[in-house]
Amino acid sequence: MVYTTAPALVSPRKQAYNILMVKTSRRSKWRKIFSLQHIIVAVIIAAIGTGTFFFARSIETYDYIVETNAFFAPFEFYDNRQIVGVDIDIIHRVAAELNASIDIKNVDFDLIIDNVADGIIADAGAAGLTITPARAEKVDFSIPYYTSAQYVIFDQSAVPDTRGDHVVWEALAGKVLGSQMGSTGYLFISDEIDNGVLQNTSTTVKGLDSHQLAADAINAHIIDYAIADELPAMFIASKSSNLLALPLYYQGATPAEDYPVEESYAIAVNKQRPELLAAFNTVLTEMLQPDATGTTEIDRLILKYMGLSEDSIATNSHLLSNQLYKRSNYEQLFQ
pLDDT for position 18? 54
pLDDT exceeds 80 at position 319: no
Per-residue pLDDT, 21: 52
Whole-number Å distance between alpha carbons of 140 and 113: 10
**For the whole prediction, is pTM greater than 0.75?**
no
- Which strands, in side-by-side order, build the sheet including 71-72? 71-72, 76-79, 82-84
d(CA 125, CA 294): 28
Residue 309: pLDDT over 90? no
Q: Is the pLDDT of residue 323 over 60?
A: no
Beta-sheet pairing, 262-269 with 140-141 = antiparallel
Beta strands in 224-313 (DSSP E): 225-229, 243-250, 259-260, 262-269
Per-residue pLDDT, 56: 38
pLDDT tens-digit readout, 96-114? 999 999 999 999 999 999 9
pLDDT digits (tens, 9 = 90+) for 1-54: 444 444 455 555 555 555 545 455 554 544 554 455 555 545 454 545 544 433
Sign of the Cα torsion 206, 212, 215, 216 reads negative
Distance CA 323, CA 304 (A): 18
Binned at pLDDT 50, 70 and 90, residue 146 comes out as very high
pLDDT digits (tens, 9 = 90+) for 153-172: 999 999 999 998 999 999 99
pLDDT for the residue numbered 83: 98
